[in-house]
Chains A and B, each alone.
Chain A
Amino acid sequence: MLDSYLPIITLIVVALGFATGSIIFSRLVGQKKPSEVKLAPYECGMPPVGSARERFSVKFYIIAMLFIVFDIEVVFMYPWAVMFKRLGMFGFVEMGVFILILLVGYVYVWKKGALEWE
């Protein structure tokens, strides 16, 4: 366990050190001439209108929810795929039934128009 994950932890530390190091270094050597206009959010040079924290299309939430549902089902397929040759026909039919149920949901979502962007 430690053998496999110690290198990854070390790599995370290295990457984190590199990222923070370069940000801190650029803050130290970079020039600083802040002005009110420069620190305003960019809006094509016009004075910003209203807040950016506004509502946006509900479509994005639907995509996120669909992703969670389908991604969990995909995760189930990983152990199955690794064992697939050993499971043989039994595994194939069983996963076929599982995917068929998933497909019913997929067709429903499609017909309901959740995948349409207009």
Chain B
Amino acid sequence: MTEMLSMSNNAPLFVGMMLLKLAVVFGVTMGIVAYATWVERKVIGHMQTRLGPMRTGWHGLLQPIADGLKLFFKEDIIPTQASKVPFLLAPMMILIPALITIAVVPFGPDVTVKGFLVPLQITDLNIGVLYILAMAGLGVYGIVLAGWSSNSKYALLGGVRASAQMISYELAAGITIIAVFMLSETLSLREIVALQSGSVIDWYVFKQPLAFGLFLITGLAEINRTPFDMPEAESELVSGFCTEYSSMKYALFFMAEYANMIVIAAIAATLFLGGWSGPLPESLGVVNLLGKVFAIMFFFIWLRATLPRVRYDQLMQLGWKVLIPLALANLAVTGLVVVLQQ
């Protein structure tokens, strides 16, 4: 029986492996963030019988790099009326929770390095899902802070709307995923994946189809994407909480949005679609996970091209009067079935 690598049995190797995994995951995440913008513009372009970006490189493949460079060289404007410190902190407070949530998502089976077992996951928290919810909750602070510190009417309204929306849907999301833990009996994402690794039939999406649907809807609302992109409803709020931001600070909001999209897709894939296990063999775990993540992200982009934005009152009614009762009912049915099966 090989031992799990830890600080106590080989500290230098543990730190080395940790840094390696961290660099790979961070690099891949930032890469996906950059190219998700290109894919989104391309996909929506073609759905609307346009071509999308074509000028920079082959079929616009260098577009994310061009955008990034452009934003670096833009003027960094801090409005005179803004509260400087919160104004500066807000984009970081949105980006950091978005980037660190990915730490608990497992991306492959355990590998053996120098006789030690190393899990392919930055860290296996036994409270993994609580950690995800906590980080999702922290994202709200950045948005409120950005809206308030800008001292602009559009930004304030965008920030307030966003926070009310996010906390409402966080509640529905929180109730929804409880049904999964009633089946898994653990909050560790690594163990949740292991429980679904038998075959495709073991995926929780087949035992919890309603929870999967609810999670995708609440996830979309949490990350403020169409049809729930009320905080930045261009037609009424200019750009919502990031109206006053420019240059790299604006880019950080943008990156956070896409990073959040990756996180929600990765969590949905891990909780409901078996994560890295299946349908391809275990050794291709990363391909499995990325395939599922990309499929869900494509679905989100597709929705953006298809659905109009909902009205704010409809949005809040949907969250409080439809999703929460549905999630509670799903919980009750799951509980009843589990109890009767025993």
Interface residues of A (CB under 8 A from B): 2-8, 10-12, 14-16, 18-20, 22-23, 25-27, 29-34, 36, 38-44, 48, 51-54, 56, 59-60, 63-64, 67, 70-71, 74-75, 77-78, 81-86, 88-89, 92, 95-96, 99, 103, 106, 110, 115-118
Contact = CB atoms under 8 A, between A and B. Distances in A.
B79 A40 contact: yes
A38 B88 CA distance: 18
B76 A92 contact: no
Contacts of B316: 63, 115, 117
Interface string B136-151: 0000000000000011
B335 A92 contact: yes
B171 A43 contact: no
Given A15-B100, A34-B77, A39-B77, 9 more contacts: A8-B122, A8-B125, A11-B22, A44-B238, A63-B168, A81-B178, A85-B338, A88-B339, A117-B316
Contacts of A14: 22, 26
Closest 8 CB pairs of A and B: A117-B313, A26-B248, A41-B152, A81-B181, A7-B123, A67-B167, A19-B92, A15-B99
A30 to B, nearest CB: 5
B321 A67 contact: no
Contacts, number: 220
Contacts of B338: 84-85
Given A25-B72, A52-B151, A39 B328 contact: no
A9 to B, nearest CB: 10
B252 A63 contact: no
B59 to A, nearest CB: 27
Specify the main secondary structure of chain A where it touches its partner: helix
A35 B163 CA distance: 32
Specify the main secondary structure of chain B where it touches its partner: helix
Contact of A23 (B7, B170, B185, B249): B249
Contacts of A118: 313
B185 A84 contact: yes
15 contacts: A8-B122, A18-B99, A22-B72, A23-B91, A25-B72, A41-B150, A42-B152, A59-B164, A63-B167, A67-B171, A77-B175, A82-B187, A85-B342, A103-B328, A117-B316
B170 A71 contact: yes
B156 A52 contact: yes
A88 B339 CA distance: 6
Nearest to A70: B171
